[in-house]
Structure 1
């Protein structure tokens, strides 16, 4: 059912210079986190606390640099420095940043966020003024044509999507579905999670050729080569297969020009079988446009390389779907405070 009781996001207006500084300098904390990942600090601490000297030796980095970095990370709570001056992971770092953890998504932060998303924000000023040069990356279409960039993005995104994929499989009942179309499905992390949860499901993934080649390796490793196929191509341009029981669009609408969003919805309606479901997972802000902050910031991030991107909200999306004839089954959080899931159904 549609959740109409979601409270309005409450954001306190900042008042002090310290508040402004906290925002202005927060990029330093994120770069410290990325540096810790590249140095493999969190994995080295996964088996217990270490002194600065022990950690410096383990990662082969001079001790003065380790002291400086771990102090910075401890100051924002990513690491903990005990009374004996030994350094250990915070609970979050232990669970999500160590290569030994089942829920590790460090590669997603280490490669996609640090090496790709972070630099793109440097062109935000040019985007706002309309001064983005012709050779600047302006959409996924151009970005994914670069084999190296496609590889970095896709492999790191796979690491970041496995957890949300498992959550999606729990939230949506696809037990009656036999076919799934994953539009812009990347390396298939979401598809893999859904196919493992629903053994009768067979899937088709549409994504760029470079991404499809990388994704096939993950599909093979998951033992799903007989249940998943790829259609290499631009999801907004290629012909979609019809009569689908379910269609998934995850992180797609926020990454394309705004004019393409309505076309994607129409394609989904036309390609679904009667009674089929459309699952839209993406960064969406509240109707009052006060947040959530992570969703709003991610939308801004996407605009930095897709200048004509649209700011999505649940209200706008559900109304757009209803105009096409969809019924709304569910609107709920998927990644708390960051992404939402909207489930539409096509009348039988």
Structure 2
């Protein structure tokens, strides 16, 4: 009887679903995401960037048969990515126009098209086997093995760069590094976050640690940004190699959710040891609340990472901050960086 009382409406979670329609929405949502990826693949959103088109005009511009364009654009309209004008032409939604068109300053379509569709999406097919411990060792594509593949490293890194530029600019506005002269970006990929921070703080010099294939790609972005005199790479596995010490600031972005859970404490410890007294450690990642009820996107990304790193840890804000304090850090701030998806925890090393 007590068990039944625990399930009364008054005690149900606010986001607990109740209807078959809600359940179906979750079950079939992969169809909507695949429609989005396909729209990017055939260039729908970029083709509509200069104004509405008829289905026939869009078919000719995309070089895709009319019936396929009609079916795809209908699906995209049904989920709000496209809409129709009064004269029955097809146009981008505001979000598609601002973020999915190659003509937009804030376009991150390549990140979705290449990294999410071509790499992350297929990895979820491994999840059932991961849960049962039935996935072969060869199929476990941890970052260590994944980034050793030159082609995969290129696809992942270049698309990730596009997806990290916006959060990098937000980070630069959020954390005050005006007194910092040195930055260590651990697992910094192609340097999108570092580039944003160096652009904001002209006295900052940075070191990025990442796998050799990633470092080679990242160096091109650093050169393009005109920062070759202020940024250097140390190629290697951040978990294993020696870090430079006496750093004023250290950044770990999307790092802890992509490594085996047993390595997280070690990364925090190495960060503490590499910081100068008074230095800041910035941890940006997918983190859930301590009650483990969300945010949904953070929780789903953690599940995604587990599909190729089975021993990854589901990070919570409370656990991370308590672990940091145990190591010797003080917690400066905890805030959202990408709303409803990622959080930023800023630690400081006592002076």
TM-score where L is the length of structure 2: 0.96
What's the CA shift for 1:11?
A: 3.7
What is the CA–CA distance in structure 2 between the aligned matches of 1:15 and 1:102, rounded to whole Å? 40
Q: Which moved more, 1:272-281 or 1:131-140?
A: 131-140
What is the CA–CA distance in structure 2 between the aligned matches of 1:321 and 1:108, rounded to whole Å? 32
- Give the 5 Å matches for 1:41-56: 41-56=44-59
Query: Do the aligned partners of 1:165 and 1:194 also contact (CA within 8 Å) in 2?
Result: yes
Unpaired stretches in structure 2, ≥5 consecutive residues: 1-12
What's the CA shift for 1:137?
A: 2.8
Show the counterpart of 1:181: 184
What is the CA–CA distance in structure 2 between the aligned matches of 1:71 and 1:213, rounded to whole Å? 42
Show the counterpart of 2:74: 71
What is the CA–CA distance in structure 1 between the aligned matches of 2:36 and 2:206, rounded to whole Å? 36
Show the counterpart of 1:276: 279
What's the CA shift for 1:13?
A: 1.3
What is the CA–CA distance in structure 2 between the aligned matches of 1:85 and 1:205, rounded to whole Å? 51
- Choose which of 17, 30, 34 in structure 2 pairs with 1:31: 34
Structure 1 runs of 4+ with >4 Å offset: none
Cα shift readout 1:27-57 (whole Å, capped 9, x = no counterpart) = 0000000000011110110111110011111
Show the counterpart of 2:6: none
What's the CA shift for 1:14?
A: 1.1
TM-score where L is the length of structure 1: 0.97
Show the counterpart of 1:62: 65
What is the CA–CA distance in structure 2 between the aligned matches of 1:105 and 1:137, rounded to whole Å? 28
Residues 1:18 and 2:24 are matched in the alignment? no
What is the CA–CA distance in structure 2 between the aligned matches of 1:168 and 1:134, rounded to whole Å? 37
- Give the 5 Å matches for 1:179-218: 179-218=182-221
Q: Which structure is higher in RCO with an 8 Å CA cutoff and minimum separation 6?
A: 1
What is the CA–CA distance in structure 1 between the aligned matches of 2:294 and 2:36, rounded to whole Å? 24
Show the counterpart of 1:96: 99
What is the CA–CA distance in structure 1 between the aligned matches of 2:331 and 2:56, rounded to whole Å? 57
Residues 1:131 and 2:122 are matched in the alignment? no
- Choose which of 43, 49, 66 in structure 2 pairs with 1:40: 43
- Choose which of 225, 229, 232 in structure 1 pairs with 2:232: 229
What is the CA–CA distance in structure 2 between the aligned matches of 1:84 and 1:24, rounded to whole Å? 35
3-state secondary structure, aligned to 1:107: helix
What is the CA–CA distance in structure 1 between the aligned matches of 2:235 and 2:229, rounded to whole Å? 17
Paired residue total: 339
Residues 1:296 and 2:299 are matched in the alignment? yes
Show the counterpart of 2:119: 116
What's the Cα RMSD here? 0.7
Show the counterpart of 1:164: 167
What's the CA shift for 1:208?
A: 0.2
Query: Do the aligned partners of 1:184 and 1:252 also contact (CA within 8 Å) in 2?
Result: yes
